[in-house]
Amino acid sequence: MVARKRVIGIDAGGTKLLGGVVDDELVVHHRVHRLWRGADRAEVLEVMVEAVEEARAAAPDAAAVGFGIPSLVDWERGVSVMSVHLPLDDVSFRDLMRERLDLPVYVDNDANCAVLAEQRHGAAVGASHVAMLTLGTGIGGGLVLDGRVYRGSSGAGAELGHMVVDLDGPECQDDCPGRGCLEALASGPVVAREAVEAARREPRSALGRALASGREITGPLVTELAHDGDEAARGVLELIGRRLGAGITGIVNALNPEVVVVGGGVVAAGDLLLDPARGVVAERALRPSRDQVRIVPARFGDEAGMLGAALLALSEGTA
């Protein structure tokens, strides 16, 4: 029996971390979960190191570590240049982690990792032009163009969540200086915020009763109630889906992708979210792009970023 190469993939999001021991057939042998304990840089980096060490204890033969982080990453130098959601500005991330872990380390933007996994093994297999949006605490963006991950001139490309879709829209989150970004209109926290407003407007709905009973209104709860048929919850997902569709329209017109993959926790809503988005694209995007593009949920769900980070390590950073 031929031994399979195993690596560790780490997907660090705005509020949580998911890691795994992954082999060269993309089988996950051990998973690691962490929530951020605090907001300062030292704690964030320490949580990442702890997660890798836990995975490494389960797989001492792990040959390398791949990190997907929510940051603009200077690909050549492995530097986290700027992060909206974590305190990782101007961190020599690759070198620091190599020193801490004594392993080969590869690092990229988290959504770049996710689109790599989906294009090679997931919902966009066979496509050479792919865009991906990951909906969670924020909205990440990843691109594969002509079969290769597109990172821009300095690694800061494909920040699709920060496309402005409403010039006079709400302020974006954390350290983003923008207003009316797609992230400010369609990310996970926005789903919860719009749901609270809908619950107040419709107190007799299941969503309204949940708010009145003291339940925390979250994206997963909205999705659950929407799947159960609550019209107020469905209306929230339709609103978010149409806003998402406005962003996807810009991507379709600019890049003419074959596939747009939507991932992250919010996509658990499925067609209740994606059908409104598809409708906006059908109405507003230019042909022939609008007629050619497929808008699909991520095959790997929340694990796309972790699997893509592992692929980065398996390919020794050549992705």
Q: Where are the domains of the chain?
A: 6-109+303-314, 123-298
What CATH fold (topology level) applies to the domain 6-109+303-314?
Nucleotidyltransferase; domain 5 (3.30.420)
Whole-number mean pLDDT of the chain? 92
**What SS3 class is residue 117?**
helix
- pLDDT surpassing 90 at residue 283: yes
Topology agreement, domain 6-109+303-314 and domain 123-298: yes
Q: Which CATH superfamily is domain 123-298 in?
A: ATPase, nucleotide binding domain (3.30.420.40)
User: Would you mind telling me the total number of residues written for the chain in this entry?
Assistant: 319
For residue 246, how many other CB atoms are within 10 A of its CB?
18
For 193, phi then psi, to 5°, come to -65, -45
Would you state the pLDDT for residue 37? 64
Instruction: Specify the higher pLDDT residue, 15 or 165.
Output: 165
Rounded (to 5) percent helix, strand, coil in the chain? 45, 20, 35
Beta-carbon contacts of residue 298 (< 8 Å; ≥ 6 apart) = 114, 118, 122, 123, 132, 134, 261, 262, 263, 264, 267, 304
Percent of the chain predicted with pLDDT > 70? 97
Per-residue pLDDT of 64-79, as tens digits, reads 999 999 888 998 899 9
Would you state the pLDDT for residue 176? 82
Q: Name the residue among 150, 135, 138 with its Cα closest to residue 176.
A: 138
pLDDT band at 287 (very low <50, low <70, confident <90, very high): very high
Per-residue pLDDT of 260-282, as tens digits, reads 999 988 888 999 999 999 999 99
Please, are residues 260 and 277 in contact by the beta-carbon 8 Å criterion?
A: no
- pLDDT surpassing 80 at residue 153: yes
- Whole-prediction pTM value? 0.90
- pLDDT surpassing 60 at residue 157: yes
- pLDDT surpassing 80 at residue 300: yes
Instruction: Specify the higher pLDDT residue, 257 or 173.
Output: 257
Per-residue pLDDT of 302-314, as tens digits, reads 899 999 999 999 9
- pLDDT surpassing 80 at residue 38: no
Would you state the pLDDT for residue 16? 85
- pLDDT surpassing 60 at residue 1: no
